[in-house]
């Protein structure tokens, strides 16, 4: 299996990316990596840091798309960027999947325009897997589509279920609709219409509306939202978690007494940290495009990249794409899709 990795995406590129790829090939015998990016720089970093490039091929790409670039530049001034080159390679069959920790907007643009949508899929979605009391859940969509119609949310539910089942091994994933109350009549028009569709949808374990107050407690495997709401949930979640963790941290470090007090429970405190760690699940797949495209967290370290490779390996070998295509074409909601596109 050939996994393409953007060597110049993310805050810690290229060093941590290259390191992570080397870790991954060592861990997974069946994986080969294609790194895209400035060949000379990649080789230089590998040599300086004594990272083996065995089973890692380099495809040269002189440019980098920056966070400050408009996403559509990927198709224009930045078409020779490591991300664009990787996505074209993927679309042309030069690899089985693509991972980048670079600009989410550019990734989505490229995934949609270069890799292209699965037939019948109205909109691809960005679907991060996040920590909760059960371990993890998927939030879909999380920012790819700010304005959504109910049929799109129904497709998100299907795509998320297929991924959670096949990649993360969740039996019969529980699908919840992110809403401001549990009763069927709650929420805005979009939620009410989506609820009406979801409750009659076959091949879906729809458990009803899900209040975001419960989000950290578990009880849901796939949380469905329009991209605006999903992104609001994600960012509020991250913001509050980081603020509170910061408050505790500063208490623990305040003075020598507190430091000693905290030292006693260091292992337990680290368990909390680990349970909240986004590096654990590696990032977010883009679901709905023809090949596996995976967005690793912007602050990815080597271990994050290695975890991303692990997930993408499952993504490829369990044929999530084929199963999504099957699920979507079997859903009544795709009728009339041609007209809308």
The residues of the shown chain that bind its own copies, judged by CB under 8 A, are 133, 143, 146-147, 178, 180, 187-189, 191, 211-217, 226-229, 231-233, 235-245, 247-248, 251-252, 254, 257-258, 260-265, 268-269, 271-272, 275-276
DSSP labels for 16-48? HHHHHHHHHHHH-TT-EEEEEE-HHHHHHHHHH
DSSP string, 239-284: HHHHHHHHHHHHHHTSSHHHHHHHHHTHHHHHHHHHHT-GGGT-EE
Torsion of CA 15, 19, 20, 22, to 10 degrees: 140
Asked if residue 10 lies in contact with residue 296, where contact means CB atoms within 8 angstroms, the answer is yes
Nearer to its own copies, 23 or 216 (CB): 216
- Of 44 and 238, the one with the shorter C-beta distance to its own copies is 238
**Least distance (Å) between residue 105 CB and its own copies:** 9
- Residue 299 CB, nearest approach to its own copies (Å): 13
Asked, as a colleague might, if the bond just before 95 is cis with ω within 30 of 0, I would say no
In the complex, the smallest distance separating the C-beta of residue 258 from its own copies, rounded to whole angstroms, is 4
Instruction: Indicate the residue among 7 and 233 with the shorter CB distance to its own copies.
Output: 233
Write out the H or E segment, with its range, that includes residue 229. helix 227-252
CB of 311 to its own copies, least distance (A): 24
What region does 319 belong to: left with phi over 0, alpha with psi -120 to 50, or beta? left
Pick between residue 163 and residue 210 the one whose CB is nearest to its own copies: 210
Minimum Å distance from CB 183 to its own copies?
10
Nearer to its own copies, 153 or 233 (CB): 233
Q: Which helix (H) or strand (E) holds 125?
A: strand 125-126
């Amino acid at each position: 299996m050939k996994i393409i990795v953007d060597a110049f995406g993310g805050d810690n590129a290229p060093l941590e990316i290259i390191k992570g790829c080397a870790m991954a090939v060592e861990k997974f015998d069946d994986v080969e990596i294609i790194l895209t990016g400035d060949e000379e720089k990649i080789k230089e970093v590998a040599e300086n840091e004594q990272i083996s490039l065995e089973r890692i091929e380099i495809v040269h790409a002189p440019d980098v798309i920056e966070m400050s670039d408009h996403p559509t530049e990927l198709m224009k001034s930045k078409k020779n960027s490591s991300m664009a080159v990787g996505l074209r390679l993927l679309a042309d069959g030069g690899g089985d999947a693509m991972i980048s920790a670079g600009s989410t907007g550019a990734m989505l643009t490229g995934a949609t325009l270069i890799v292209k949508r699965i037939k019948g899929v109205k909109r691809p979605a960005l679907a991060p897997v996040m920590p909760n009391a059960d371990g993890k859940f998927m939030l879909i969509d999380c920012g790819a589509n700010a304005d959504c119609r109910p049929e799109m949310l129904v497709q998100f539910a299907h795509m998320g279920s297929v991924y959670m089942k096949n990649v993360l091994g969740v039996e019969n994933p529980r699908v919840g609709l992110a809403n401001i109350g549990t009763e069927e009549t709650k929420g805005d028009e979009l939620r009410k219409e989506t609820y009406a569709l979801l409750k009659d949808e076959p091949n879906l374990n729809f458990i009803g509306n899900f209040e975001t107050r419960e989000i950290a407690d578990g009880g849901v495997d796939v949380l469905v939202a329009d991209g605006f709401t999903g992104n609001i949930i994600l960012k509020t979640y991250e913001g509050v978690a980081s603020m509170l963790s910061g408050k505790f941290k500063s208490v623990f470090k305040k003075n020598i007494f507190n430091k000693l007090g905290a030292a006693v429970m260091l292992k337990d405190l680290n368990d909390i940290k680990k349970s909240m760690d986004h590096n654990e699940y590696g990032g977010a797949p883009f679901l709905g495009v023809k090949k596996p495209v995976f967005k690793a967290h912007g602050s990815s370290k080597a271990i994050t990249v290695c975890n991303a490779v692990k997930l993408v390996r499952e993504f490829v070998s369990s044929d999530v794409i084929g199963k999504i295509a099957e699920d979507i074409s079997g859903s009544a909601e795709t009728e009339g899709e041609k007209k809308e596109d």
